[in-house]
Amino acid sequence: MENSDVLAMVRESRKIPPPRNASSYMPLKTPADYERAYQEALANPEQYWASVAQELTWMVPWKETRVGELPDFSWFVGGYSNVSVNCIDRHLADKADQVALIGVYEDGRDRRWTYRELYEATARFARALKDLGIQEGDVVAIFLPNLLETFAAVHACYRIGAIYNIIFSGFSPQALHDRLADTGAKVVITADQAVRRGKIIPLKSTLDSVLSRVPSVEHVIVVRRTGADVPMTPGRDIYWDTLMDRTAGLLDPVPLEANAPGFIIYTSGTTSKPKGLVHAGMGFLVGSYHNVRYALDLGPNDVYWCTADVGWLTFPIFELVGGLAHGATYVVYEGALDFPSIERFYDIIDRYRVNKVFTAPTALRMLARHGLEPAQKHDLAHWELVSLVGEPLDASTWYWVSEQLGQGHLEINNTYGQSETGSAWTSSIVGVTPAKPGSCGLPLPGHRFDVVDEDGGSVPVGTVGHLVLTASFPTLARTIWRDPERYRREYFRLSGRYATHDAALVDQDGHVWVLGRIDDVINVAAHRLSTMEMESAALSVPEVAEAAVIGVPDAIKGQVPVAIVTVRQGVTDVSAIPARVSEAIEKEIGAIARPRDVLVVDAMPKTRSGKIVRRLLKEILVSGEIRGDVSGVEDADHIPRLIEQLSQQE
């Protein structure tokens, strides 16, 4: 990528201090404190991570803090504990009757569990799993939406040492089958049905359609979400409430070695076999607990909402495990953020007095698309923080949220991480370090990284290269389930370094700018261009709500960019939009980046977590159809209209 191409975006950024100071729970108070902590952790990572781990409850102390190097490493070797103890049991002494979870259904009804009720449900369900014969190391599949029972199911697995695999409840039968077959799950926990955008999702029927091909499954436990009458196979299937009623007593947690596998989470597998990433139970807890502290400054008086689906790792990091370890009150919402209208998002913040939110940049662009009118109907004065992960946040949306929606009182923290890293390891230190619109913040203490060229050599400040991690940390995935060689091949081609496969640069202030996947960098006539910067320029056009830039083949230039945009609510005349977007991109980057086409569509294809599914846009542009799996796409019914719109405008 041409260095001058990127400098315009970075050069125009400025440091914006947080609107309020960090709470008393934050150990760092000033940017100088951060810098000192980061350097000390680089000098002695074992001592740093040991100090974090010591804040948690251990049954047996560890003997060695770290053993080995990338890719073969272990943390807190010989230490024994249990994740459920640290997320639930240890809170009982002083907050047993505090509301732990507020489950909100899409129709607006809610349920609440205190920490005592969460503990009792978890410990009883753990006993039930043991009674069914589940042992340490067995795999339990969790095919559930965002329900209170999902928390109990996950922590019951932790409690007995079972390895859980959460499977996104919107997956197709084939995607579900592939994950069940690969893990060899013995138990599947599902619901009769789920509800999304007012539509019924037949979870039990979907599961039943594949179980004949998954002989490992011995038991199916069904949560009554809608109360629908679903087929139940005698001897195999049992309702959650029936199982709980017949289970006598609560189960104490078993001590588990810190590196024992805790869970498996699969990547999408759109172009190859899905990768089952294996994370260590206690290692993941230590790192996600640390991540939440700095990225959210979460404490027991906060009411906090992570909007992600439980099937994406954002939710386990920032709510289910790392979040819950901090003892706050958590909103668990099953529905779409904009259903039945965009006001649902604001209504939840208002009604439950949510003061901290974790969501995706696309959600903020969705809010901006509808303007301020829906927000002005709700009391949002208590809303202090929105943290983000998933993709870069453009500066235009950043300023709209900060200055208009938040009136200068809302802190914005855009972070960066991957399923493989198990944490968002670049972030602001909330209430402490300044943010830069467009950047992903600073590397958190305990994480060593570099930006390198094609040959593995470090690049200068302000230069785009490959982002790599150069030392292990507790949340980094330990292997790929049943395929350790693939783990080494895909992530460790550079000896001793984990390859993120993302393009990035570090600016003069130490902020990390992640520009997208290496494959998303477009090579136009030997000029490497950042899709992130082109999208950011497109979003500077006031009428544009969302933008995705795709590289498509060109016989002369190799590749050329095509911009796809949606417009803000109330914009009816879109005839001038293509020219204005092209001009904005050319002005910001140069004539070489001018899109071949700018196409206006009604809506982007997105995952439930809010990411724009750019691979689908590329498939449509290149082939005129979609061949890949669309079961993870929110509102997939819109895809035929999307194909029609793109085909007509090209």
pTM of the model: 0.90
Decide if pLDDT at 560 tops 60. yes
> Cα 227 to the chain's mean position, in Å?
30
- Radius of gyration, alpha carbons of the chain: 24
Confidence of residue 3 (pLDDT cuts 50, 70, 90): very low
Going by C-alpha positions, the residue among 184, 241, 240, 233 that lies closest to residue 209 is 233
Q: Residue 113: is its pLDDT beyond 50?
A: yes
What 3-state DSSP class applies to 243? helix
249: alpha, beta or left, given left = phi > 0 and alpha = psi -120 to 50?
A: left
Residue 465 φ then ψ, to 5°: -155, -165
| Inter-helix orientation angle 45-53/281-296, to 10° | 90
CB atoms within 10 A of CB 462: 17
φ/ψ (deg, to 5) at 504: -155, 165
Alpha-carbon span 338 to 342, nearest angstrom:
4
Q: Distance between CA atoms of 642 and 535, rounded to whole angstroms?
A: 19
Residue partners of 216: CB distance under 8 A and separation at least 6 = 180, 181, 184, 185, 186
403 burial class (0-12, 13-18, 19+ CB within 10 angstroms)?
A: exposed
| Residue 129 near residue 157 (C-beta atoms within 8 A) | yes
pLDDT at 526: 59
Q: Which residue has the higher pLDDT, 592 or 126?
A: 126
Instruction: Write out the DSSP string of 597-627.
Output: EEEE-S---EETT--B-HHHHHHHHHHSS--
Mean pLDDT of 121-139: 98
Q: In Å, what is the CA distance from 189 to each residue of 179, 207, 577, 592? A: 14, 10, 48, 53
Asked if residues 16 and 436 have their Cβ atoms less than 8 Å apart, the reply is: yes
| Cα atoms in the 13 Å half-sphere on the side-chain side of 428 | 28
The answer to whether 524 and 561 have CB atoms below 8 angstroms apart is: yes
Beta bridge partners of 505: 513
Name the DSSP letter for residue 30.
Answer: S
Q: Alpha-carbon distance 648 to 650, whole Å? A: 6
| Residue pLDDT, tens place only, 273-322 | 779 999 999 999 999 999 999 999 999 999 999 999 999 999 999 999 99
Residue bearing tokens 């550079």: 494
Residue 84, CB half-sphere, CA atoms under 13 Å: how many? 29
| Tokens found for residue 216 | 């490992």
CA atoms within 13 A on the CB side of 176: 27
- Lowest model confidence (mean pLDDT) among 21-35, 128-142, 154-168, 624-638: 624-638
Mean pLDDT rounded to a whole number for the chain: 93
In this model, does residue 37 exceed pLDDT 80? yes
Indicate whether 107 pLDDT > 60. Answer: yes
Query: How many DSSP H helices and E strands does the chain contain?
Result: 20, 34
Q: CA–CA separation, 588 vs 5, rounded Å?
A: 9
Query: What pLDDT score does 7 carry?
Result: 63
Q: Which two tokens stand for residue 18?
A: 């947080």
Residue-wise pLDDT for 452-464, tens only, equals 998 999 999 999 9
User: What H or E segment, with its residue span, contains residue 139?
Assistant: strand 139-143
Cα(292)–Cα(159) distance, rounded to whole angstroms?
Answer: 22
Highest-confidence range of 293-302, 490-499, 606-615, by mean pLDDT? 293-302
In this prediction, residues 162-186 reach a mean pLDDT of 94
Angle between helices 31-43 and 45-53 (to 10 degrees): 110
Task: Check residue 275 and report its DSSP letter.
Answer: P
- Confidence band for 172, pLDDT divided at 50, 70 and 90: confident
DSSP designation for 91: G
* pLDDT computed for residue 5 by the predictor: 46
Regarding beta strands 606-607 and 633-634, do their DSSP bridges make them parallel or antiparallel, or are they unpaired? Answer: antiparallel
CA trace torsion 300, 306, 312, 314 (10° rounding): -60
pLDDT tens column, 372-412? 999 999 999 999 999 999 888 888 999 999 999 999 999 99
Q: Does residue 271 have a pLDDT over 70?
A: no
The tens digit of pLDDT for each residue in 504-559 reads: 999 999 999 998 888 777 777 656 677 888 888 899 999 999 999 998 888 877 78
Report, in this order, helix, strand and coil percent for the chain, each rounded to 5: 35, 25, 40
How confident is the model at residue 268, as a pLDDT?
60
Structural domains of the chain in order of their starting residue, each with its CATH number: 15-82+279-518 (3.40.50.12780), 116-254 (3.40.50.980), 521-649 (3.30.300.30)
